[in-house]
Amino acid sequence: MLKALFLTTFVATGAFSTAAFADGDAAAGEDTFKRCKSCHGIVNGDETIVRGGRTGPNLYGMIGMTAGTVEGFRYGDDIVAAGAAGLVWDEENLAEYVADPTAFIRTFLGDDSARAKMTFKLRSGGEDVAAYLASLAPMMEMEEETEEGEEAEEGESS
């Protein structure tokens, strides 16, 4: 009886685990983001969530997005190659990336001469920033499901 209950709980939690996978603290991540905003803003259409610099791409909706695909941003070749090779940001790999972008891209591509244009390294708190970014935007997957309701969705936003 009890065992069955545990099992159900385990499975149910599993279904939602992607969002909380890297175990970050979004509130702490908001604070950590102060270290990113000299280069990155967070902008959703007309709504500026964090006003930031333009050295790096807008980070709105980054979780669930293919690496190197923010329109209008001029990336380095290697992150674009990583995206083309299937790199999609989730909380876990984004936290790894910000800890050492060049090392991450090298490992991902298996190419020791690859480089990231992001020169900053975050020593700790990457999971928190990732959780913060995840908390701001719905996952891309969810958009597919609501495709039919898109017009209705655009009309109201809170």
Binding part of the chain for ligand HEC, among 2-10, 18-26, 73-81, 139-147 by CB under 6 A, reads: 73-81
Return the residue nearest ligand HEC (CB atom): 36
Beta bridge partners of 88: 66
Give the C-alpha separation, 134 to 6, whole Å: 28
Binding part of the chain for ligand HEC, among 13-21, 116-124, 137-145, 146-154 by CB under 6 A, reads: 116-124
Structure tokens of 69?
Answer: 């695909």
Could you say which of 50, 114, 116, 136 contacts ligand HEC (CB under 6 A)? 116
Total residues at the site for ligand HEC (CB under 6 A)?
Answer: 27
Q: Quick check: 134 binds ligand HEC (CB under 6 A)?
A: no
Please give the residues from 11 up to 70 whose contact with ligand HEC meets the rule CB under 6 A.
Answer: 35-36, 38-40, 55-57, 59, 62, 67-68, 70
Q: Quick check: 106 binds ligand HEC (CB under 6 A)?
A: no
Q: Quick check: 94 binds ligand HEC (CB under 6 A)?
A: yes
3-state secondary structure the chain: CHHHHHHHHHHHHHHCHHHHCCCCCHHHHHHHHHHCCCCCCEEECCEEEECCCCCCCCCCCCCCCECCCCCCCCCCHHHHHHHHCCCECCHHHHHHHHHCHHHHHHHHHCCCCCCCCCCCCCCCCHHHHHHHHHHHCCCHHHHHHCHHHHHHHHHCCC
Residues that bind ligand HEC (CB under 6 A): 35-36, 38-40, 55-57, 59, 62, 67-68, 70, 75-76, 79, 89, 94, 97-98, 116-120, 122, 129
